[in-house]
Amino acid sequence: MDKGEILVTTTESIPGREYEIIGEVFGLTTQSKNVVKNIGAGFKNIVGGEIKAYTELLTEARDIAISRLRKNAEDMGADAVVMMRFDSDSISADMETVAAYGTAVKFK
């Protein structure tokens, strides 16, 4: 974590820190694979195993969602986000949406 970067944690509290709740924060993104990777994923579906194109897609979407969550928290004047969670859903066969959400807090 860079100095000054918003702390994001999945825990309910931050040990040794007191804070006040500012409100809920979100980071959303929808990502799509390109056609070439989609064809490769289709072949992999026949033989089984990890479909790396989908793993890469979800990893990228997760990273973008967390970055946007941090930006939302920063814009609210937060120092950290607690209880961060993810939610994801398929919009179509080759599109995924990922939401990162949590509670923005300000240290006392």
Q: How far apart are CA 94 and CA 56, in angstroms?
A: 12
The structure tokens listed for 31 are 């990502």
Q: How far apart are CA 14 and CA 40, in angstroms?
A: 43
Contact 4, 76 (CB under 8 A): no
Could you count the other beta carbons within 10 Å of the beta carbon of residue 57?
Answer: 21
Lowest average pLDDT, out of 3-17, 46-60, 79-93, goes to 46-60
Q: How far apart are CA 26 and CA 72, in angstroms?
A: 7
Q: What is the pTM of this model?
A: 0.81
Higher pLDDT, 57 or 71: 71
CATH of 7-107, one of 3.30.870.10, 3.30.110.70, 3.40.50.9100, 3.40.50.150: 3.30.110.70
Higher pLDDT, 32 or 71: 71
The domain spans of the chain are 7-107
Q: Taking 60 as the threshold, does the pLDDT of residue 3 lie above it?
A: no
Paired residues of 103 in beta bridges: 24, 82
Half-sphere exposure of 18 (CA within 13 A, CB side): 1
Beta-strand pair 80-92/19-32: unpaired
pLDDT attached to residue 104: 98
The structure tokens listed for 79 are 């120092």
Look at the block and give the residue holding tokens 């509670």: 103
